[in-house]
Structures are given as C-alpha cells and as structure tokens.
C-alpha cells in the first residue's frame, strides 16, 4: 500500500501538535502555584513549553529522518544535487519564528501587565497616606527637599524613592534593622520607585491590604511588620490578602525570590523596590536570595509561611506576647520607656547583627544611656 506523502505529512503534523500540547500541560517542571499571580506566569510558561516541544520534535525529527533516508548507499560516489537557495522556504522559516516571537512578546507583555508590572509612572499609595503628609511637615523636610530636588521636578502623583524609605523607617523596628545608609535620591528615574511589581489593574489606585518591610543583608532576610512592630526572620502571610513587600538591602544587592509565587524582586542598597501580590495557598515555601551576594549567598534562605487568617492572627498575638515577656524578663521597666536599640537588643543575635551596630545608629540614645548609669 502506498500512502500519498501529503497524507503522511498531515498525520505527522497532527501527532506533533497533540504531543506538544500534552507536554505543555503535563511537563511537571513547576512547583505549586501559591499566589494569585502564579497561574498567569504558568500559562505563559506552558505556552512556551508547547511551542518549543513542537519545534524541537520538528527539527530533530526532520534531522533524524533525513540522516536515515538520504544516507550514503554502498557504491554511491556521486555528488549531491547542486541546490542553491530556496526563496519560499527561506521566507517560511524566517516568517514562522518571527510570528512566534512577536506573539510571545505580546502575550508576556499582557501577563506582566496583569500582575502589576507595567506601571512605570505609578505612584505608591503610601505617599498619599496620612503619615506621609505629616512627614512632609516635619522640621527639615522642606530643607531636605530644596537640597536634593527642585520641587518642580516632582509632578503630582509621583513618589520619590526617598519618601518610601522615610515612610518605611517610621516603623522603629524597620529603622533599627535598616542601617542608616544614605538613600540615593531620585535616581535613575526621577521621582518614582523602581523597579516595582505594583497593584494588579483591578486594584489600581487602592492601598495594599497590608505592608511588610523586607530587608536583605549578608546573609539573611529580616521582615518587619509596621502595623504590629513584629520583627521576624520568617515571612508570615495570611492567604487571600494582598500584601505589599517594601524591599531594601543593607549592604549589597540581594533578590527576594519565592519560586511558588513565581515572583522575584531585587533588593537594592539605598533604594526601595516593591512587590505586591496575593498569596493563595496555605503552606511553607522557600525564600531564596537570587542575587549572588557573597561567599554565603547559597545559605541565604528562609521561608514564607502562608497561613489562614485565624492562624496568622494567632501568630501575631503570640509574637506580641513573646516580645512583651522578653522585655519583662530582661529589665522591669515600661517597654515604652526604652529606646529602639534597647528594645531590639534581645533579638540582635537572631537577626544576625551586632548589638553595637544598633547603638551606632542611635548615638544620642547611647549617650543618654551612659549618663543615666
């Protein structure tokens, strides 16, 4: 029986397509989807997997077929046919990849927009909060503004990177964790925070449901919760609530990466970066530093613990009790009478920083402490 080659080609094409689609959906290469953003990223990944499986099978298939079909036969000493150029074929194999690349770029652009990445002129809701307005009225705020930035250069709705940093360190715990590094003001993009994964298009203009400040240092992550004053080496998050991570670094570049969330963000000394997302699955996932940051970079790991709202609230309550007990045991004084570095002293070892370092940050409190004793 002699089947026409057009039928064979068509059947091979159908088989190739079916296999590619199956591989694209069942490759099993990705970890759990633990954030609302993850399925969008995975859709893009699976599409690329489908296309690359198809191309791989096509190219390798034709190669193997040709090597077998057109192999040299015994006694065949003749030259091959003098083929030189094939315009339709060249148009085809240039056109198809061009269409694929263009399609994927549009798709990835859409995904990036959907997770909140495309908001270059966006402004942080923090800048419009009450605290930010109070801060602007603080003594020195006007002088700082004239020294660093001509006021006209900040247009309405933009947020200076410095404002985000100032806002973050209003929380005493964050202020103590973050060394007093001078912030590089308004660079490279004047007036905006960058880079950032901001709110999704439907949450545009709305403040995040809650904020955690994440600070990277050699070789640990420290998470501070401005709402509650909690300092933690592990990131506890309630599922279903949108969180804004306000990320910075104390020493060198780090990068916050949770593979299960499909999200990664640089931690840059002297600048603020943002990562806004919604955890969607209860569980414990690794937090990995994704930027080579020194000899122990590989050990810079912690975990994110995504909890139900009730479990998260229980953890918050527990942390508050633990810190209050710690204070009571150390010195029988009212916690509110104590300076930030005294408050944090019991935790400095856990945080991987020296108690002396905290004191250096607050020379005035150090002075008053020694004069009192």
Residues that bind Cu ion (CB under 5 A): 254, 289, 293, 300
Q: Which two tokens stand for residue 254?
A: 């780090």
Tokens 């927009």, residue located: 113
CB of 193 to Cu ion, least distance (A): 21
CB of 237 or CB of 300, closer to Cu ion? 300
CB of 216 to Cu ion, least distance (A): 6
- Residues 350, 154: Cα–Cα separation, whole Å: 40
Beta bridge partners of 269: 249
CB of 214 or CB of 239, closer to Cu ion? 214
CB of 269 to Cu ion, least distance (A): 11
- Give pairs for 181-190: CB < 8 Å, separation 24+: 181/250, 181/269, 181/270, 182/270, 183/270, 183/271, 184/270, 184/271, 185/148, 185/149, 185/160, 185/161, 186/148, 186/149, 186/153, 186/160, 186/161, 186/162, 187/161, 189/120, 190/153, 190/154
CB of 179 to Cu ion, least distance (A): 15
CB of 169 or CB of 289, closer to Cu ion? 289
Nearest 5 degrees, angle CA 95-CA 97-CA 100? 110
How many Å separate Cα 237 from the centre of its chain? 15
CB of 215 to Cu ion, least distance (A): 11
Length of the chain: 373
Q: 318, 235, 222: which is closest to 283 by C-alpha?
A: 235
CB of 194 or CB of 302, closer to Cu ion? 302
CB of 13 or CB of 298, closer to Cu ion? 298
- Residues 9, 174: Cα–Cα separation, whole Å: 65
- CA distances to 193, 232, 233 from 350, rounded to whole Å, are 30, 9, 8
CB of 239 or CB of 287, closer to Cu ion? 287
CB of 219 or CB of 343, closer to Cu ion? 219
CB of 303 to Cu ion, least distance (A): 15
CB of 298 to Cu ion, least distance (A): 9
């Amino acid at each position: 029986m002699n089947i026409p080659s057009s039928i064979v080609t068509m059947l091979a094409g159908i088989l190739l397509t079916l296999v590619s689609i199956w591989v694209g959906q069942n490759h099993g290469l990705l970890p759990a989807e633990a954030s609302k953003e993850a399925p969008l990223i995975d859709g893009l990944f699976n599409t690329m997997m489908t296309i690359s499986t198809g191309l791989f099978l096509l190219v390798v298939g034709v190669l193997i077929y040709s090597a077998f079909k057109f192999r040299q036969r015994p006694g065949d000493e003749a030259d091959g046919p003098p083929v030189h150029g094939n315009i339709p074929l060249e148009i085809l194999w240039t056109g198809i990849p061009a269409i694929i690349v263009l399609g994927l770029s549009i798709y990835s652009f859409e995904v990036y927009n959907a997770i909140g990445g495309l908001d270059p002129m966006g402004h942080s809701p923090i800048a419009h909060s009450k605290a930010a307005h109070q801060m602007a009225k603080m003594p020195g705020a006007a002088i700082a503004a004239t020294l660093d930035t001509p006021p006209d250069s900040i247009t309405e709705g933009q947020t200076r990177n410095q404002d985000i940093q100032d806002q973050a360190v209003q929380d005493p715990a964050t202020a103590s964790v973050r060394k007093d590094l001078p912030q590089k003001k308004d660079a490279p993009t004047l007036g905006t925070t960058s880079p950032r994964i901001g709110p999704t298009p439907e949450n545009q203009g709305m403040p995040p449901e809650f904020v955690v400040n994440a600070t990277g240092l050699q070789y640990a992550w420290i998470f501070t919760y401005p709402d509650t004053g909690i300092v933690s080496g592990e990131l506890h998050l309630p599922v279903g609530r949108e969180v804004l991570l306000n990320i910075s670094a104390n020493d060198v570049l780090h990068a916050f990466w949770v593979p299960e969330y499909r999200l990664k963000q640089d931690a840059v000394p002297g600048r603020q970066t943002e990562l806004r997302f919604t955890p969607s699955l209860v569980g414990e996932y690794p937090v990995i530093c994704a930027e080579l940051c020194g000899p122990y970079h590989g050990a810079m790991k912690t975990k994110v613990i995504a909890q139900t709202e009730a479990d998260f609230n229980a953890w918050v309550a527990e942390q508050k009790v633990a810190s209050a007990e710690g204070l009571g045991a150390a010195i029988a004084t009212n916690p509110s009478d104590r300076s930030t570095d005294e408050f944090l002293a019991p935790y400095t070892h856990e945080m991987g920083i020296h108690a002396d370092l905290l004191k250096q940050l607050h020379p005035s409190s150090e002075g008053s402490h020694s004069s009192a004793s």
